Amino acid sequence: MAGKRKYFGTDGIRGEVGQFPITPEFIMKLGWAAGRVLAKGQGGQSKVLIGKDTRISGYMFESALEAGLSAAGVDIMLLGPMPTPGIAYLTRTLRADAGIVISASHNPYFDNGIKFFSDHGLKLADEVELAIEAELDKTMETVAPNLLGKAGRVIDAAGRYIEFCKSTIPTKTSLNGLKLVVDCAHGATYDIAPKVFDELEADVVSLGANPNGLNINEGCGSTMPDLLQQAVLRNGADVGIALDGDGDRVILVDDKGEIVDGDEILYIIACANIETSDFRKGVVGTLMSNLGLEHALAEKDIQLHRAQVGDRYVMEMLQQQGLTLGGESSGHIICLEQTTTGDGIISALQVLAAMVDQGISLHDLKSGMSKYPQTMINVRTEQRFDFKGSSEVAKAQQEIEEKLNGRGRVLLRASGTEPVIRVMVEGQDIDEVDECARYLADKVESAYQNSQL
């Protein structure tokens, strides 16, 4: 990386509304800085798209970004509520210089954030984010009045994206005969997702499709699929589809009410397309991807490449390895043959198309992969702790790895969002996994306490 980022995290800038930097003043200046860097705001034909999810604060930040971009001499096209991947798609097809998303994804309504897409519909490179941060340190200057940016609205944004989603599966593929329960998390997909599946002739039952600005992700969506599981069983549905607040993640539920997570979705998509795509070259997961996925793919002669946790790093490895399919167990799946970023609707469609093509249930589609039991324990650290430099932790980790003897996996990593060391152990036997995780977590806690003496 060319330098340390001051405001940008792994997925844009995010935080609690009203707390710096998620304030109207900062977001206005962010719009100005982004306009100068991404659209080289000097008047003329520069154009940036703005879309948002359904949080009440989206109105405020939409206006703030609009003011900042206009001051930089950039024209603005407002999309209204739109899934994050839809904004990426429209940025490309409308030939915009950049796309801006106002969303905090799966977070509660009182959080919000800003993330950007380049003119190619890709997340920004580090050097571009650093350039925006450099502009933020400057005094904001407004272009001459005759060069101020104008604002307009893309009237048919939703319709364009719906047609694009439908185009990602074969034209003759119909979902007729499938009953789906679609949980939109009261978020950005609330209107679009049910229409996509309905227009493909599925029988659709909608959940979480009544946003009020305050209920996004509340007890629903991909991070809380309990209601969806109940609804699938109650309605006798074939599949449940749980999206998150901005529509870039998806978790599925099969007809037996069992959750199908991102690892299993990756497995299904890879196996369904193994003859027509280059998935034999490999699939990208993360350090947290279940060992069962790695073994199931290996049986199909597909290598699993493990990236750091975060869709940003999955994308980096896809590009480095020249691969087209990757994702996380959270349900953030990237299908580069279809689109440029994680897309919950498109990922779900790939699985549904596989069901239709093979004429079997989702439960049977996932049966080729057996997930290994996994135990995660968070060891809280008030001070920064270099666990990698601890001989006590290294010795304990080696003991566990020798005990598992290839039948499991150990992962220690520092959280990027909170002061904890994550201790993860997975293997074939749940009791053994729990015992090993507790032992290793105790050793990490002991080593941390000794480091504070």
Closest CA to 248 of 299, 291, 187, 202: 187
**What residues pair up with 39 in beta bridges, in sequence order?**
none
Q: Long-range CB contacts (< 8 A, 24+ apart) of 229-233?
A: 229/253, 229/257, 229/258, 229/259, 230/257, 231/181, 231/183, 231/205, 231/207, 232/181, 232/257, 233/257
Q: What is the gyration radius of the CA atoms in the chain, in angstroms?
A: 23
Going along 226-384, which residue ranges are E strands? Answer: 239-243, 250-253, 259-260, 283-286, 304-307, 325-327, 333-335, 374-380
Beta strand residue intervals within 394-443, DSSP E: 408-414, 420-427
Contacts of 439 (CB under 8 A, 6+ apart): 396, 400
| Residue 87, SS3 per DSSP | helix
What is the side-by-side order of every strand in the sheet holding 250-253?
203-207, 179-183, 239-243, 250-253, 259-260
- CA-closest candidate to residue 106, choices 373, 349, 269, 311: 311
Catalytic residue among 105, 222, 289, 329: 105
238, 361 in Cβ contact below 8 A? yes
- Non-local (6+) Cβ contacts of 407 within 8 A are 427, 428, 429
User: Angle at CA 411, nearest 5°, toward 407 and 318?
Assistant: 95
Q: What is the DSSP string of 1-21?
A: --S--SS-BTTBEEEETTSTT
Whether 105 is catalytic is yes
Strands 259-260 and 13-16: unpaired
- What letter does residue 123 receive in the DSSP assignment? B
Strands 283-286 and 304-307: parallel
The total number of residues shown for the chain amounts to 453
CA distance 272 to 351: 8
Which residues are annotated as catalytic?
105
